[in-house]
Structure 1
Amino acid sequence: MTLHKGKLQNQYTTVNGLSMFARVFAEDLPEDAPVVILVHGLVLASRYMIPTAELLASKYRVYVPDFPGYGDSDKPDEALELPQLADVLCQWMDAVGIKQAIMLGNSFGCQIIAEFAIRHSDRLFAAILQAPTIDPRARNLPEQLWRFALNAPYEKASQLPIQVQDYAAAGLPRVIRTIQMAFNDRIEAKLPYMHIPTLVVRGENDPVVPQNWTQEVVEMLPNGKLKIIPGGGHTLNYSKPVELSRVSDEFIQETVADLIIGGVQ
């Protein structure tokens, strides 16, 4: 089935006294249509997830929240740590009435999903990890800056203003703490405990998440699959949304069919 762009609505939900903003793509879908939550990456918020979200919204109930501290959500004084980000995501799901979801994350968003999978495994139906960070061989700022510089030619120029606005909204102290958080996290220690079906997606030319690290991620996952997007860089959700949406849709449909055949649903 061809994916087409869905309709966008803005939603504000109070969670722990903080207003969380989310982009919700509302279509006339069956009540049992799977919920897909897109999880934004390092400091960036929901806007750069829109190209992929609006394509998936033709078949799924799609939500793209801004975590507290980022985008259009409230800004607590201190940056939420990784376990807190996972917990507030679960609390936000409670507040908007989502019992279980498929999560698609980009970059640092994959680290949040892995933490969520450990802490709230019953709320996660399946996961799509697009460019999961951080490669243990490059867990330092100079190497990451170099890799992102190499990645720049594979991204759309229109993404830069979004990045600038999102970083400005977060503020320098939160930006610094979020980067530290990403470096301190060891996603490789969590992947073996993610027993849900998981698709790992890599852009063919992504220097931030090289092929050897991507393959290791897949091998550590108990139920992992790999898809490579030809010509893609690090941020496929913005630069190649059609391709990412297509492989995500195929994975979700296969996963749902397998669970039905297995008698889970």
Structure 2
Amino acid sequence: MLRPSAESTVTASTSSVSVIVVARSVNSPLTRIATTDRSVNRSKPSDTGCAPLEDHFNRCISHRLFNFSAAGRIPRPDAGYADVLVEWVHPPTEQRTDAVCPDFRTPIASSVDAPRSPRTERFDHGGFTLVASSWAPGAGAGSTTFVLVHGIGMSSRYFRRLAQALSAVGTVLAIDLPGFGRAPRPSGALSIEDGADLIAAYLQARGCEETVLVGHSMGSQFVAETAARHPRLVDGIALVGPVVDERASAPWQQGMRLLRDSLRESPTANWIVMTDYVRSGIRWYLTELPVMLGYRIEERILVVDVPVVVIRGARDPIAPHGWGARLATLSHDGRLVTVPGAAHVVQHTAVGTVTQILSDLAASAVTAGATGPGPLPTEPRRRE
């Protein structure tokens, strides 16, 4: 592992109680990381400033609406693993067959039922600051570190269910990028390249090994660029609802797809999206929008040399099937997974399924690193 840059510092976020943790990797020097254990002060308001209202809202929604999931209306976040259609994609010269992944009925993420509070870390590098929530691995978890990167206008809040579940598999870091969530806004726009370098510097400072990057929506662009620019730091990537579909790259087209998606999401997903948009502010959203629309992930994915899984909900209008299939086809070692019944915020509404997919990705990334990628099953093309 490379030595942390002299420009990179990890400091404690504002809190009444702090504890110093020393992190060390096998080949890196000691890195002093100041963390905040939020579990020691449960009476503290949440970082949103509206915890009582949000908690009441979530309790009402969970009790009154999620029980309709048996009819296929809203996926229950705490249900066992449902059947998932796994769509493997290869160039059209390959023979194509249908492939369905096995039924995931035995949950690996019991931590969802017994949530643990994360620690909070603030990291500065190159004039940018990110804030990360860190979940320690549960008993029997592996050595993989999952790094969760949110989309435009969002924060790490909509990763909380997934982070709790993934902590049964490995260490989880959920990032707030500069200007979003708890991270301070920089003086200028955050480019995809600068964001990728910031993420890479954070991974170096933490001494992360066996790392899987998970990006949702615009976060998939940061994840792909990090893997392209810093391949030694990444073992696998997951592009969840990736953007921007080249057939609908105009702002008004993306806006219409976002509106359609809001009609398909669960109430809690829409609540998090709405409040995070308000929190980031329209000015910063419009500052980052041209950055997102101008990035060509379909070109950069060509140079990514680690296993790639594209995850999308079957009802996602922002990342349609054809677009996801194209990214998987362009990847060096890629596959596409469609989750039935889910829309764009699939990592929030289908936690168990996405956890299993990411667990499989982590296992295949380690295998690929040791033996190289093997042949993948394929699936017929679809019309949109």
TM-score normalised by structure 2 residue count: 0.64
Give the corresponding residue for 1:221: 331
The change in CA–CA distance for 1:72 and 1:55 in structure 2 (over 3 A counts) is: same
CA distance in 2, matches of 1:119, 1:194: 9
Q: 1:2 aligns with which of 100, 108, 115?
A: 108
Post-superposition shift, 1:57? 0.6
CA distance in 2, matches of 1:230, 1:72: 33
- For 1:11-58, what per-residue CA distance to the aligned partner results, in whole angstroms no more than 9, with x for missing partners? 222313655321111135579611110111112010011111110111
Give the corresponding residue for 1:235: 345
DSSP-derived class of the 2:222 partner: helix
The change in CA–CA distance for 1:31 and 1:144 in structure 2 (over 3 A counts) is: closer
Give the corresponding residue for 2:272: 162
Give the corresponding residue for 2:135: 25
The structure with the largest helix share of the pair is 1
Post-superposition shift, 1:73? 1.4
1:38 maps onto 2:148 in alignment: yes
Q: 1:12 aligns with which of 121, 128, 132?
A: 121
CA distance in 1, matches of 2:217, 2:310: 11
TM-score normalised by structure 1 residue count: 0.91
Q: Is the 8 A contact 1:21 1:65 kept in 2?
A: yes
- For 1:162-219, what per-residue CA distance to the aligned partner results, in whole angstroms no more than 9, with x for missing partners? 2233223323221101111110111111111111011111111111111111111111
CA distance in 2, matches of 1:100, 1:176: 35
Give the corresponding residue for 1:189: 299
Q: 1:81 aligns with which of 169, 187, 191?
A: 191
CA distance in 2, matches of 1:21, 1:254: 29
**Which of these two proteins has the greater Rg computed from alpha carbons?**
2
Letter in 2 for 1:157: P
Which residues of 2 match residues 51-62 of structure 1 at below 5 A? 51-62=161-172
DSSP-derived class of the 1:12 partner: strand
Calculate percent identity across the aligned residue pairs: 24
Q: Please, which moves more after superposition, 208-217 or 74-83?
A: 74-83
Q: Please, which moves more after superposition, 111-120 or 13-22?
A: 13-22
CA distance in 1, matches of 2:271, 2:342: 20
DSSP-derived class of the 2:256 partner: helix
> Where does the alignment leave 5 or more consecutive residues of structure 2 unmatched?
1-106, 373-384
Q: Please, which moves more after superposition, 239-248 or 54-63?
A: 239-248
Post-superposition shift, 1:226? 1.4
Q: Is the 8 A contact 1:25 1:63 kept in 2?
A: yes
The change in CA–CA distance for 1:174 and 1:255 in structure 2 (over 3 A counts) is: same
Post-superposition shift, 1:147? 1.2
Q: Please, which moves more after superposition, 61-70 or 22-31?
A: 22-31
Q: Is the 8 A contact 1:12 1:19 kept in 2?
A: no
Letter in 2 for 1:3: A
User: Would you say how many aligned residue pairs link Structure 1 and Structure 2?
Assistant: 262
DSSP-derived class of the 1:137 partner: coil
The change in CA–CA distance for 1:32 and 1:163 in structure 2 (over 3 A counts) is: closer
Q: Is the 8 A contact 1:42 1:179 kept in 2?
A: yes
Post-superposition shift, 1:59? 1.4
- For 1:105-130, what per-residue CA distance to the aligned partner results, in whole angstroms no more than 9, with x for missing partners? 11111111111122111111101111
> Where does the alignment leave 5 or more consecutive residues of structure 1 unmatched?
none
Q: Is the 8 A contact 1:13 1:95 kept in 2?
A: no
Letter in 2 for 1:144: Q
Q: Superposition RMSD on alpha carbons, in Å?
A: 2.0
Q: Is the 8 A contact 1:69 1:79 kept in 2?
A: no
